[in-house]
Amino acid sequence: MKKISRIAVYLMAVCVIVNAGIIRNGNVLDIQVIGHPELSGRYVVGDDGKIDYPLIADEKISDISTTELTNELTFKLARNFDNPLVLISIVENPEIEITVLGEVLKPGVVKITKGASVQEAIMNAGGPVVKSADLTSIKVIHKNRPDVPEIFNFQQFLRDGDVEKMPQLAADDIVIVMTKKGTSNVKVIGAVQKPGIFELTDTLNLFEIIYMAGGPAEKADFSRIRRLSSSSGDRVDEEIIDLQSYIDQGKMDKIPEVNPGDVIIVYSKWFDWKTMLAVLNNTLLIIVTIQAFAGVFK
């Protein structure tokens, strides 16, 4: 690879500048090196003004223009590639991923455009669960300061429209829609016929709420049922309940009651006798087949 001087690079390299501007911390840069996908991609300018790009990872690039960065990157690439074609732009509305948990219909990771509101993040997660979501207490956990969660009163925002109070979301932040205090809902998931959210209209125990969810599935393990209960503050208490032992001993009146806001998880057995007998039957069939072939070839 022949050496090319800086002046020659500027004369020979074709540099296309898209969306030229001054680079700031937090910007997303789209860097494309034509013909080299391994050197192309989107990169976030960190708080230190740097990006995780191989050739300039140790350099501060904030407060310079995309033109200057293009010239610099072109010169560095020209040491290894002939006539590199570099395109750099600032992405105006990049997509970021946010995790939305709690009282929403589809909890999990959602994609929103950078600068989108908490409301958009919640709606992308299916929207709030109407009966149980507490829109006065939405918790936002920022990736860069996880120990200092931000509490946002969305209902008050709808009343006064104060945009300055809206939390600013960044990639990998977590939005938690809290449960209303005193909610009468119980969530039942796992090995049941009809998992979902059920409203308590009366005092029910663990056995009864499972049958409200359609009863146990075929391989439900009543000896290991997990209950998650909200306690004071943000702590969640967990316990494993052996419901089968209550049934076997005829102590139905002693079965623990469920409380509003509980989450009940019914696990599946990792094996049962029906499965075990099928495995044994197949094993015996293989042994008999091997013995038959051994007799043929004697």
The pLDDT tens digits for 185-203 are 888 999 999 999 888 877 8
The region of weakest confidence among 237-241, 263-267, 282-286 is 282-286
With bands split at pLDDT 50, 70 and 90, how would you rate the model's confidence at 235? low
Q: Per-residue b/e over 91-101, b at no fewer than 16 CB within 10 Å?
A: beebebebbbe
> What Å distances lie between residue 129 and 103, 117, 150, 191, 209, CA to CA?
5, 18, 21, 23, 20
Structure tokens at 279: 């495995």
CA-nearest of 132, 152, 133, 131 to 141 is 152
5 contacts 67 by C-beta, under 8 angstroms? no
Tens of pLDDT, residue by residue over 204-213, are 899 999 999 9
* 237 has pLDDT over 60: yes
Structure tokens at 151: 């509490």
Name 21's Cβ contacts closer than 8 Å, sequence gap at least 6: 65, 66, 90
Give the pLDDT mean for 231-238: 64
Out of 119-123, 235-239, 268-272, the most confident range is 119-123
- Work out the mean pLDDT of the chain and round it to a whole number: 81
The CATH superfamily of 95-179 is Outer membrane lipoprotein wza domain like (3.10.560.10)
* 20 has pLDDT over 60: no
Q: Fold identical between 6-91 and 185-268? A: no
Q: Give the pLDDT of residue 184.
A: 74
Give the pLDDT mean for 281-298: 62
Rounded CA separation 254/247 (Å): 10
Chain centre distance of CA 140: 14
Structure tokens at 251: 């102590």
With bands split at pLDDT 50, 70 and 90, how would you rate the model's confidence at 285? low
CATH topology for 6-91 is: wza like fold (3.30.1950)
Q: Other CB atoms closer than 10 Å to residue 138's CB: what's the count?
A: 27
Q: Give the pLDDT of residue 15.
A: 40
Structure tokens at 115: 């600068």
The region of weakest confidence among 73-77, 110-114, 214-218, 280-284 is 280-284
Domain boundaries, the chain: 6-91, 95-179, 185-268
Chain centre distance of CA 210: 28
The CATH superfamily of 185-268 is Outer membrane lipoprotein wza domain like (3.10.560.10)
Q: Give the pLDDT of residue 290.
A: 65
Give the pLDDT mean for 85-94: 86
Specify the higher pLDDT residue, 28 or 285: 28
Rounded CA separation 272/216 (Å): 15
At 12 the three-state DSSP class reads helix
Specify the higher pLDDT residue, 9 or 190: 190
The region of weakest confidence among 36-40, 96-100, 272-276 is 272-276
Q: Give the pLDDT of residue 207.
A: 94
Tens of pLDDT, residue by residue over 119-176, are 889 999 998 988 778 888 899 999 888 888 899 998 888 788 777 788 888 888 999 9
